[in-house]
Chain A
Amino acid sequence: MTAQNTNQNSVLSHLGNAAMPLGIVIGLLAIWEAAVDILEIQPFVLPAPTEIFKELMISGPTVILPHLHVTMLETLAGYFAAIVVAAVLSVLILYSSAFRRGVLPLVVASQTIPIITMAPVLVIWFGYNSLPRIIITAIVAFFPLTIAAVTGLKSLEPHFIDFFRSLNATPSQIFFKLRLPVALPSIFGGLKVAATLAVIGATISEWVGASRGIGYLIAQDTALLNTTRVFASLTVLGIAGMALFGLVGLIERLSMPWIYARPTMAWLRTQRSPQAPAAAVARPRR
Chain B
Amino acid sequence: MTASRKLKPLACAALAALTSTLALTSSLVAAELTKFRYALIAKPGIWDAAVLNGIDRKFFADEGLELELISPTSPADGLKLVATGGAELATAHSTDVIIARSKGLPVVSIGTNHQTGTTGILVPAEAGVKDIKQLEGKNVGITGIPFNKVMLEHSLKAGGADLGKVNIVTVGFTQMPLLLSQRIDALGDAISWDEPPIYNVQIKKPADDTSTYTYFTFTDYGVPRFYTFGLVGDEEALKAKPDIYKAFLRGWSKSVEWMMANREEAADGVIKQIPSITKEEAVVSLAEIARISVSAETEANGIGWQDVAVWETQEKFMLENGLISSDVDVSKAVTNDYLK
Contact = CB atoms under 8 A, between A and B. Distances in A.
Interface of A: 42-45, 119-120, 123-124, 127-128, 207-211, 216, 219-220, 222-227
Given A208-B171, A210-B170, A44 B105 contact: yes
B302 interface: no
B15 interface: no
Contacts, number: 78
A44 B178 contact: no
Contacts of B133: none
Interface of B: 74-76, 79-80, 83-84, 96, 99-100, 103-105, 139, 141, 144-146, 168-172, 174, 177-178, 181, 183-184, 323
Dominant secondary structure of chain A at its interface with chain B: loop
A224 B169 CA distance: 19
Given A207-B172, A216-B170, A225 B79 contact: yes
Residue from A209, A219, A225, A227 whose CB has the most chain B CB atoms within 10 Å = A225
B170 to A, nearest CB: 5
B183 A44 contact: no
Given A44-B105, A124-B183, A224 B171 contact: no
A127 B84 CA distance: 40
7 contacts: A128-B171, A216-B144, A216-B170, A220-B144, A222-B74, A222-B76, A225-B79
Contacts of A44: 80, 83, 100, 103-105
A135 to B, nearest CB: 15
Contacts of B174: 119-120, 123-124, 208-209
Contacts of A222: 74, 76
B144 A219 contact: yes
A225 B76 contact: yes
Nearest to B84: A45
Nearest to B73: A222
Nearest to B177: A124
A223 B146 contact: yes
A127 B100 CA distance: 34
Given A44-B83, A223-B76, A225-B76, A123 B171 contact: yes
Given A45-B80, A124-B178, A225 B169 contact: no
Contacts of A223: 74-76, 96, 144-146
A127 B85 CA distance: 42
